Amino acid sequence: GADAICVGGGLADEETVVALRDALVAAVRSGELPEERLADAAARVRALASWTQGARGDVPEPGAEVQEGTAPGTGV
């Protein structure tokens, strides 16, 4: 199974996102996808996001201004 579905970035429009949402809702309602499985996947995605944020530390977001002469993430 998959814990996350990556859409966006110009590869999918709102219609695609709504269709994915509707398919997930239908799968849960029909019993094809247990709601508990969906909740477990969401928890794993949240844990990954939290771990990723911690691993990034003080590295600025792409495109953020960085003080001249300072290496991102060094704290110098």
**Where exactly are the structural domains of the chain?**
14-54
Q: Could you read off the pLDDT of 20-59 as tens digits, one per residue? A: 999 999 999 999 999 999 999 999 999 999 998 888 776 6
Nearest by Cα to 59 from 48, 76, 74: 74
Spatial CB neighbours of 58, under 8 Å, sequence gap ≥ 6: 72, 73, 75
pLDDT beyond 70 at 76: no
Q: Report, as an integer, the average pLDDT of 11-24.
A: 88
- Helix (H) or strand (E) run with residue 51 in it: helix 35-56
pTM given for the model: 0.59
Tokens of 24: 């997930």
65: left (phi over 0), alpha (psi -120 to 50) or beta: beta
Q: Report, as an integer, the average pLDDT of 59-64.
A: 68
pLDDT confidence band for 19 (50 / 70 / 90): very high
